[in-house]
């Protein structure tokens, strides 16, 4: 039996292992879950060892641990660095889940659980592929290095330092990450662009304490009203971000790229189904695919002030806060955009208020070179597994580690995503399509084979 056959015979086992990992509520943002995050790290290291990666280990960091593993089969073969993350988003609001977020439940060929798609399911595909090679051939066809972190959902604060400290152990030819989505079921894609992120928190303070709105209302600046007015001025009438300088470094979309993006079989009905009537919004002059992948945005992710419980508390709140994030495109820089945002908020803050701005999280946008051998190997693997050529597209999300792997290790990244647009990432009822889980494992198996094969072809240079 070859590795593909092994994987097909062990689908039930692969599903059981995914189920086990999804039961661990490894929410990296919530301090109370730190022991669960640690438990998930240990689980991943143990699973690496079971897959044949005998030197897997759990490395401490200032935050949550990084799981490292390496399986070097021959210095003559290419080395692939597999990145993934075992931490998950919070499950709130829990009451909107049909079944509990940490009790994986299968319905209609989908597995519902927090982290099923982002990223435990997609990360495990790579471990399952390695295990299949171990059982079929005793070893994989290429050298493998694993970096599975536990802080992706909080901005990977410890990862760059860890990568720098372990650069010697991380030498590779290319990186691969499965943490993105295909545009529609059955239609694979290769993402060559990712948006960056500048995630800010703003606090506007007015009176020095909460006041009675009857005794003070009308003669005191209300920071909740004032913050709303400031947020309202962050977009113009055309849906453009109204922060001075915001678009200065945005690369203009060329006619070639626009016509190529127009070919992406984007599921507009599915998109509108997911977003409802709200899915008719966006920057004037751009298609939905362009708005999502190739244009920067600004969204309020959270806002809070005053009395939010039941009933009518007549408070004039002393402060109002918002979490506001901007998705960035090349060549915007998160630090620079954060500084422009802060300067603008300070300009907008009315007299009698004090504004405080903090950057919570940042990631650079990324564009990947489509001509590298690993992209071609991925295209072959997709075509042979799904029976269809992948489309090339840009994705709206942010994987800061893509820019980090380039910065620290000089690695290009192939993004082999097996999620779907309706996977409910970061939302209630996150799910993974189980066909995609099984086909994902097969695609990874074919990808590693194609990479080894391509590498042996004469006239093809190894990237070093």
Residues 319-348 that bind a second copy (CB under 8 A): 320-323, 325, 327
Q: Which stretch binds a second copy (CB under 8 A): 14-22, 42-50, 232-240, 406-414?
A: 232-240
Give, as ranges, the residues between 274 and 303 that touch a second copy (CB under 8 A).
274-283, 288, 291-292, 295-303
Nearest to 304 by CA among 288, 317, 291, 290: 317
Cβ pair 26, 150 in contact under 8 A: yes
- HSE (CB half, 13 Å, CA atoms) of 170? 23
Q: Give Cα 235 distance to the centre of its chain.
A: 25
Q: Is 197 helix (H, G, I), strand (E, B) or coil?
A: strand
Nearer to a second copy by Cβ, of 2 and 215: the residue is 215
Give, as ranges, the residues between 397 and 436 that touch a second copy (CB under 8 A).
397-398, 421, 424-429
Residue 265 sits in the site that holds a second copy (CB under 8 A): no
Q: Could you tell me the maximum CA-CA distance found in the chain, to the nearest angstrom?
A: 84
Binding test (CB under 8 A) with a second copy, winner from 311, 387, 458, 459: 311
List all residues 6 or more positions away from 314 whose beta carbon is below 8 Å from its beta carbon: 212, 213, 214
Q: Which stretch binds a second copy (CB under 8 A): 1-9, 332-340, 353-361, 454-462?
A: 353-361
- x/- track of binding to a second copy for residues 22-61 (CB under 8 A): -------xx-------------------------------
Nearer to a second copy by Cβ, of 231 and 391: the residue is 231
Binding test (CB under 8 A) with a second copy, winner from 6, 174, 181, 403: 181
Cβ pair 295, 241 in contact under 8 A: no
Q: Which stretch binds a second copy (CB under 8 A): 79-87, 201-209, 242-250, 443-451?
A: 201-209
Which phi and psi angles does 433 have, rounded to 5°?
Answer: -75, 125
Q: Read out DSSP for 35-95? A: HHHHHHHHHHHHHHHHTT-TT-EEE--SSSPEEEEEE---TTS-EEEEEEE--B----SGG
Give, as ranges, the residues between 137 and 156 that touch a second copy (CB under 8 A).
154-155
Give, as ranges, the residues between 85 and 124 that touch a second copy (CB under 8 A).
89-90, 92-93, 96
Nearer to a second copy by Cβ, of 5 and 92: the residue is 92
């Amino acid at each position: 039996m070859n590795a593909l056959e092994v994987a097909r015979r062990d689908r039930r086992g692969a599903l059981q292992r995914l189920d086990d990992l999804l039961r661990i509520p490894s929410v990296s943002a919530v301090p109370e879950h730190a022991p669960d995050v640690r438990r998930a790290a240990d689980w991943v290291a143990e699973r690496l060892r079971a897959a044949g990666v005998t030197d897997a280990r759990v490395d401490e960091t200032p935050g949550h641990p990084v799981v490292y593993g390496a399986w070097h089969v021959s210095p003559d073969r290419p080395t692939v660095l597999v990145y993934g993350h075992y931490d998950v988003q919070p499950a709130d609001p829990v009451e909107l889940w049909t079944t509990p977020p940490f009790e994986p439940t299968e319905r209609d060929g989908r597995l519902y659980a927090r982290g099923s798609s982002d990223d435990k399911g997609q990360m495990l595909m790579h471990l399952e592929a390695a295990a299949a090679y171990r059982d079929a051939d005793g070893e994989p066809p290429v050298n493998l290095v694993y970096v599975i972190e536990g802080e992706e959902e909080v901005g990977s604060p410890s990862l760059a330092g860890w990568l720098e400290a372990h650069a010697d152990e991380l030498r590779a030819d290319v990186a691969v990450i499965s943490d993105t989505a295909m545009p529609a079921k059955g239609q694979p894609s290769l993402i060559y662009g990712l948006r960056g992120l500048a995630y800010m928190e703003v606090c506007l303070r007015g009176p020095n304490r909460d006041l009675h709105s009857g005794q003070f209302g009308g003669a005191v600046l209300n920071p909740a009203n004032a913050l709303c007015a400031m947020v309202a001025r962050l977009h113009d009438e055309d849906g453009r971000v109204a922060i001075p300088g915001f678009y200065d470094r945005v690369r203009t979309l060329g006619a070639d790229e626009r016509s190529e993006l127009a070919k992406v079989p984007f599921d507009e009905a599915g998109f509108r189904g997911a977003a409802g009537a709200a899915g008719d919004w966006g920057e004037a002059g751009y298609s939905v695919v362009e708005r999502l992948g190739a244009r920067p945005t600004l969204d309020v992710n959270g806002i809070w002030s005053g009395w939010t419980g039941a009933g009518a508390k007549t408070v004039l709140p002393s402060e109002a806060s918002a979490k506001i994030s901007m998705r960035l495109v090349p060549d915007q820089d998160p630090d620079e955009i954060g500084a422009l945002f802060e300067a603008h908020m300070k300009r907008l803050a009315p007299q009698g208020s004090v504004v405080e701005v903090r950057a919570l999280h940042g990631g650079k946008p990324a564009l990947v070179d489509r001509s590298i051998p690993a992209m071609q190997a991925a295209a072959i693997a997709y075509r042979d597994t799904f029976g269809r050529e992948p489309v090339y597209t840009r994705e709206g999300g942010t994987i800061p580690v893509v820019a980090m792997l380039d910065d620290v290790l000089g690695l290009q990244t192939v993004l082999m995503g097996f999620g779907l647009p309706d996977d409910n990432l970061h939302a209630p009822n996150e799910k993974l399509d189980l066909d995609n889980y099984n086909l994902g494992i097969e695609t990874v198996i074919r990808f590693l084979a194609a990479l080894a094969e391509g590498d042996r072809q004469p006239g093809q240079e190894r990237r070093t």
